[in-house]
A and B are shown apart, each in its own frame.
Chain A
Amino acid sequence: MTTVETRLTEFTDNNEKPVGYGRMLRKEDPRLIRGQGNFVDDVNLPGMLHLAILRSPMAHARIKSIDTTAAAALEGVVAIVTGADLAEKGLAWMPTLSNDVQAVLATDKVRFQGQEVAFAIAKSRYIARDAIELINVDYEILPPVVDVRKALDPDAALIRDDLKDKTNNHCFDWETGDAAATQAVFDKADVVVTQEIIYPRVHPAPMETCGAVALFDAVEGQLTLWSTTQAPHAHRTVYALVSGLPEHKIRIIAPDIGGGFGNKVPIYPGYVCAIVAALVTGKPVKWMEDRSENLVSTGFARDYIMNGEIAATKDGKILAVRTHVLADHGAFNGTAAPIKYPAGFFGVFTGSYDLEAAYCSMTAVYTNKAPGGVAYACSFRITEAVYLIERMVDCLAYDLKMDPVELRLKNFIKPEQFPYTTKTGWVYDSGEYERGMRLAMELAGYDELRKEQEEKRSRGELMGIGVSFFTEAVGAGPRKDMDILGLGMADGCELRIHPTGKAVLRLSVKSQGQGHETTFAQIVAEEIGIPPSDIQVLEGDTDNTPFGLGTYGSRSTPVSGAAAALVARKVRDKAQIIASGMLEVSVADLEWEKGSFHVKGDPSKSVTIQEIAFKSYGAGDLPEGVEGGLEAQICYNPSNLTYPFGAYICVVDIDPGTAVVKVRRFIAVDDCGTRINEMIIEGQVHGGLADGVGMALMEMIAFDEDGNCLGASLMDYLIPTALEVPDWETGHTVTPSPHHPIGAKGIGESATVGSPPAIVNAVVDALKPFGIRHADMPLTPSRVWETMQGRHVPSI
């Protein structure tokens, strides 16, 4: 199925009120729009205290002493806690999601600017903040390791002297693919193109910063934590393992979450500090970080230096891709990634192309920067992988003097090759790449754009057309391969139909704005014919939802969406047995028509799902062997990832005098398989495209040579506004996933993954008259102008 959308007009009905899939307004929006949402900072408990964290002003320094006298004496201060206090309780260090450790509060030395050193608990947020100003820390400054390329130099300062026998800043090595086979292909290739490509450190910067409210009931031994978390169940297990509190006595509540983008997957020291503060004081304690704290200390994203190589025949058949990556992991390896995948799913760097060989080697190092790594809607490093391959393909097109679309069309994996196993071992489930690419070209008017560009170039105007084609690997994942800290990435789901035919669906994932309350109600509605408005969707409370690994990596619809469809089918199967009793026919004689069963050949004899629900709880006998009630639960373990894809085309104009880039048009054709709610999908795509404009043109967490973070506020770390983005032009194709119960593939991160290369390719294309083949993000006016002068792009 191919659909060409005209731009959304005022006539688009976004509220079709479907019983199943279709456009409908989000059920959660009235609450959020009217200010009735309940976010962590809205949680106010009687007697609640406030916590503020003192952070290191230095990137690398030994703590000689900490004097808390003055702070403790400030009126309204309840306690000051340092790393030494935590060490006494065995809580000074905690595990990261990559089996490294991270300091909750520094005991020996600080390893990045913004690291947690001490905290104050006080009667108000203001007093707590005033108190930390009075804590006097005596630091002995150590040389910082800031330049990732120098991290492994023999004379580089040792950052992780806390790790036994550690003598350098090496974090891990990783490889994938076949080095020898790849070398053999490179040896015979007509053309080899080599290009260093930097994906700078960026930050997810959700609108709501991270925070928590901890409440400890000493009588019951019960800890309740309201927390900004994308993965409440995984967090609960980790807290149980770290704190020694029994898991059934820990309740994590993720209320409304104001954006996550991966930023709220890790467990941050602040959460642990809030828990400790509640234990120490016996009072509920709130910690809510401010904007600067969020930007300097919480999970960053990317920070890969990728040396790309691509081998091809002279007529443009791509043969092999090879890369070596230098990965900056900051001071602690805080990446959230399955154990087998320390570089996430970067292995899909072979892209959407049918290759003979591929190989990647990676060296990850520690530096004196904040920890993190997997965040900002990256689908576990697929953002970096797609950027690498899509830039390399454009570099090849440049060298071969080929049109970049033509080169891609020539090399796509063909529909009949699916399921397709890549040279790095990923099994792509389904795809019709050429169809998507041609639709994008049609929407863009690609040939006319090239003509316009030619005319403009003859007049000295700078217009660029950039193309990217991406394949994502989302919906992690099969439990045999994928885990977080040993927890398999399967998702539970429970569905209960109440006697009156209304329903409650309990999920293990957690929306941060994606619209789960709507999408999941629609999935269930499609299966059992109860309108979405009659289905309450619950998530984010570990006491009231089944176990599962949470929302990130576009996994909610691929994993929990499958669980929701299957649990609904399980309920429907039971309903069918009850219906057979009600209609006094055999189960095999019943036919399902959305919302009711009827006797085959006699539609007048029917019962609705609502009638069946009442019967299931009602007086009178049920068919033999059938228990009362209408509910079911399952745990879905995906057999494979799903592989959404898309074709993006970006048109930019560059002012030759100022080098300011204007994104004139952006055409996005996405294929996320079965589409549940078009409006929500479009919203996800629009947001991701805006992210892409930000990363391509302005976002970067930079550091000076002393390791000072230069992106510590939203004045310094720029996020795009409506004025930097064009009207998005979207279209789609539908290639269902063959192994997913409803054929859905996930859409949450497609646009963030696919858009940066399209924009950079467009800018580089515009600069073709200057002999430019590559320029690194962010393409600020200054960096574009320096590139136009033939100079290397400056570091900041």
Chain B
Amino acid sequence: MQVPAPFQYARATTVDHAIELLNEGGDGARIVAGGHSLLPMMKLRLANFDTLIDINGLHDELGYIRQEGNEIRIGSMTRHRELLESDLLATTFPIFRDAEHVIADPVVRNRGTLGGSLCQADPSEDLSAVCTTLDASCVIRGRDGERVVSMEDFHRGPYETAVGDAEMLVEIRVPIRPGGSSAYFKVERRAGDWAVASSGAAVWMSNGVISDARVGLAAVGPNTTGIPAISEALRGRAPSEELFAQAGALAAQACSPAVDMRGTVEYKRHLADELTRRALRKSVERINEQGA
């Protein structure tokens, strides 16, 4: 059994209470949600915090997936299992179910949360790539109220986010646009491992032509970011294998993987290419199925 260093523990009863506790704890305080990244790091003593603020009691307040107008709103305490099982998400953004199928294992999915995944800001993390692909925005709440930031602004670098010391991520908003679908592909060495590389794609079409498309990659660079060049290359074009290949090549160029036990730089670039093609192909297939 690996044991963490001593820390104080507090259990938040409401979001406001959590923010109050964060404010009291200063920069030595951290929120624990599912705990599947934070607790192993603490047990390995790679991270030590004075205070953990447990927000698992806030699932009632922050665990939801609902449509409001032309947005899907997901509470930050929504667990992986709920994302996986949501028919609303599967219909609107099938990329979520694709990704959740390959995130960890059922035990982790029962506990891990969307908010925790995004706030951990691990460059290999799948849901960050999904939210980037979908052009999601993040609602951050502090003592002075809420602010909404884009995924690009949310992730400031590996393990760094726009969430301040006395703030917490409360909601993710995903815009719904007509004529779209999405998909996610991941290569892992073994079920439950972090991605060697993964690629998510979202495509919107009208009259047989791609009106917009976005691609998000994971594990192939310090940051999960959208790739505007791909969107530009795809807009206004009819889908084809050549077009997907062009997008794949752009993905391979745009990423900056590092060699590790999961793979060589060349292989990861190859995967960025290959998986981007697959994700685009699948997204278009799904749009065509909707039309049919």
List the interface of chain A (C-beta within 8 A of B): 41, 125-126, 129-130, 133, 288, 290-292, 657-660, 697-698, 700, 702, 710-711, 713, 715-716, 718, 720-721, 723-724, 780-782, 785-786, 789, 794, 796
Interface with A: B70-78, B129-137, B191-199, B206-214, which one? B191-199
Among candidates B1, B189, B270, residue contacting A698 with C-beta atoms closer than 8 Å: B189
Among candidates A125, A700, A702, A723, residue contacting B1 with C-beta atoms closer than 8 Å: A125
CB neighbors of A among B255-292 (8 A): 259-264, 266-268, 270-271, 274-275, 278
Is the beta-carbon distance between B264 and A782 smaller than 8 angstroms? yes
Is the beta-carbon distance between A721 and B267 smaller than 8 angstroms? no
Is the beta-carbon distance between B1 and A718 smaller than 8 angstroms? no
Q: Which residues of B contact A133 (CB under 8 A)?
A: 5, 45
Q: Which residues of B contact A789 (CB under 8 A)?
A: 266
Q: Which residues of B contact A41 (CB under 8 A)?
A: 1
Give the complex CA separation of A309 and B267 in angstroms.
32
Is the beta-carbon distance between B5 and A781 smaller than 8 angstroms? no
Q: Which residues of B contact A786 (CB under 8 A)?
A: 264, 266-267
B229 sits at the interface (CB 8 A): no
Is the beta-carbon distance between A125 and B3 smaller than 8 angstroms? yes
Shortest distance in angstroms between B109's beta carbon and chain A's nearest beta carbon? 14
Give the complex CA separation of A197 and B90 in angstroms.
47
Among candidates B2, B3, B267, B278, residue contacting A782 with C-beta atoms closer than 8 Å: B267
* Nearest B residue (CB) for A796: B261
A-B pairs with beta carbons under 8 Å apart, 27 shown: A125-B1, A288-B1, A292-B2, A657-B278, A658-B271, A658-B274, A659-B267, A698-B189, A702-B261, A713-B40, A715-B194, A716-B261, A718-B189, A720-B190, A721-B190, A721-B191, A723-B190, A780-B261, A780-B263, A781-B187, A782-B262, A782-B267, A782-B268, A785-B270, A786-B266, A786-B267, A796-B261
B88 sits at the interface (CB 8 A): no
Shortest distance in angstroms between A789's beta carbon and chain B's nearest beta carbon? 8
Shortest distance in angstroms between A30's beta carbon and chain B's nearest beta carbon? 25
Give the complex CA separation of A718 and B188 in angstroms.
11
Say whether, besides A660-B187, A720-B190, A292 and B264 are in contact (CB < 8 Å): no
- Other than A781-B263, A794-B264, give 20 A-B pairs with Cβ distance below 8 A: A126-B6, A129-B3, A130-B6, A657-B274, A658-B274, A659-B267, A713-B40, A718-B190, A721-B190, A723-B190, A780-B261, A781-B189, A781-B267, A782-B262, A782-B268, A785-B267, A785-B270, A786-B266, A789-B266, A796-B260
Q: Which of A716, A780, A786 has the most CB of B within 10 A?
A: A780
Say whether, besides A292-B2, A657-B274, A713-B44, A718 and B193 are in contact (CB < 8 Å): yes
Give the complex CA separation of A702 and B191 in angstroms.
21
Give the complex CA separation of A129 and B1 in angstroms.
11
Query: Number of contacting residues on B, CB 8 A?
Result: 31
Shortest distance in angstroms between A408's beta carbon and chain B's nearest beta carbon? 31
Say whether, besides A126-B6, A290-B2, A723 and B191 are in contact (CB < 8 Å): yes
Say whether, besides A130-B5, A721-B190, A292 and B44 are in contact (CB < 8 Å): yes
List the interface of chain B (C-beta within 8 A of A): 1-3, 5-6, 40, 44-45, 105, 187, 189-194, 196, 259-264, 266-268, 270-271, 274-275, 278
Give the complex CA separation of A290 and B43 in angstroms.
10
Q: Which residues of A contact B190 (CB under 8 A)?
A: 697-698, 718, 720-721, 723-724
Is the beta-carbon distance between A658 and B187 smaller than 8 angstroms? yes
Dominant secondary structure of chain B at its interface with chain A: loop
Q: Which residues of A contact B105 (CB under 8 A)?
A: 721
Q: Which residues of B contact A711 (CB under 8 A)?
A: 261
Shortest distance in angstroms between B247's beta carbon and chain A's nearest beta carbon? 15
Q: Which residues of B contact A697 (CB under 8 A)?
A: 189-190
User: A-B pairs with the 10 shortest C-beta distances?
Assistant: A782-B263, A723-B191, A290-B2, A782-B267, A657-B274, A718-B190, A785-B267, A129-B3, A658-B187, A126-B3
Is the beta-carbon distance between B261 and A724 smaller than 8 angstroms? no
Say whether, besides A133-B5, A288-B1, A780 and B274 are in contact (CB < 8 Å): no
Shortest distance in angstroms between B126's beta carbon and chain A's nearest beta carbon? 15
Give the complex CA separation of A656 and B45 in angstroms.
41
Give the complex CA separation of A711 and B105 in angstroms.
21
Q: Which of A288, A290, A782 has the most CB of B within 10 A?
A: A782
Give the complex CA separation of A660 and B275 in angstroms.
13
Q: Which of A292, A785, A794 has the most CB of B within 10 A?
A: A785
Q: Which residues of B contact A785 (CB under 8 A)?
A: 263, 267, 270
Give the complex CA separation of A732 and B1 in angstroms.
41
Shortest distance in angstroms between A653's beta carbon and chain B's nearest beta carbon? 15
Say whether, besides A702-B261, A796-B260, A291 and B2 are in contact (CB < 8 Å): yes
Shortest distance in angstroms between A291's beta carbon and chain B's nearest beta carbon? 6
Give the complex CA separation of A288 and B3 in angstroms.
12
* Nearest B residue (CB) for A719: B190
Q: Which of B194, B261, B278 has the most CB of A within 10 A?
A: B261
Is the beta-carbon distance between A710 and B261 smaller than 8 angstroms? yes
Q: Which residues of A contact B278 (CB under 8 A)?
A: 657
Shortest distance in angstroms between B216's beta carbon and chain A's nearest beta carbon? 18
Is the beta-carbon distance between A780 and B189 smaller than 8 angstroms? yes
Shortest distance in angstroms between A537's beta carbon and chain B's nearest beta carbon? 30
Give the complex CA separation of A721 and B274 in angstroms.
26
Shortest distance in angstroms between B271's beta carbon and chain A's nearest beta carbon? 6
Give the complex CA separation of A133 and B194 in angstroms.
30
Is the beta-carbon distance between A782 and B196 smaller than 8 angstroms? yes
Q: Which residues of A contact B270 (CB under 8 A)?
A: 785
* Nearest A residue (CB) for B194: A715
Give the complex CA separation of A782 and B267 in angstroms.
6
Give the complex CA separation of A133 and B5 in angstroms.
9
Q: Which residues of A contact B193 (CB under 8 A)?
A: 715, 718
Give the complex CA separation of A780 and B266 in angstroms.
14
Give the complex CA separation of A138 and B196 in angstroms.
38
Give the complex CA separation of A794 and B266 in angstroms.
11
Shortest distance in angstroms between A41's beta carbon and chain B's nearest beta carbon? 8
Give the complex CA separation of A786 and B267 in angstroms.
7
Give the complex CA separation of A469 and B275 in angstroms.
38
Q: Which residues of B contact A659 (CB under 8 A)?
A: 267
Shortest distance in angstroms between A289's beta carbon and chain B's nearest beta carbon? 9
Give the complex CA separation of A130 and B45 in angstroms.
10
Q: Which residues of B contact A129 (CB under 8 A)?
A: 3
Give the complex CA separation of A782 and B270 in angstroms.
10
* Nearest A residue (CB) for B191: A723
* Nearest B residue (CB) for A700: B261
* Nearest A residue (CB) for B263: A782
Shortest distance in angstroms between B1's beta carbon and chain A's nearest beta carbon? 6
Q: Which residues of A contact B6 (CB under 8 A)?
A: 126, 130
Q: Which residues of A contact B267 (CB under 8 A)?
A: 659, 781-782, 785-786
* Nearest B residue (CB) for A209: B1
Give the complex CA separation of A191 and B242 in angstroms.
47
Give the complex CA separation of A715 and B193 in angstroms.
7
Shortest distance in angstroms between B9's beta carbon and chain A's nearest beta carbon? 14
Give the complex CA separation of A41 and B196 in angstroms.
36
Is the beta-carbon distance between A724 and B187 smaller than 8 angstroms? no
Q: Which residues of B contact A715 (CB under 8 A)?
A: 40, 193-194
Give the complex CA separation of A786 and B268 in angstroms.
11
Q: Which residues of A contact B264 (CB under 8 A)?
A: 782, 786, 794
Q: Which residues of A contact B271 (CB under 8 A)?
A: 658
* Nearest A residue (CB) for B43: A290
Give the complex CA separation of A222 and B204 in angstroms.
78
Give the complex CA separation of A781 and B5 in angstroms.
37
Q: Which residues of B contact A723 (CB under 8 A)?
A: 190-191
Q: Which residues of B contact A288 (CB under 8 A)?
A: 1
Shortest distance in angstroms between A550's beta carbon and chain B's nearest beta carbon? 26
Give the complex CA separation of A657 and B193 in angstroms.
20
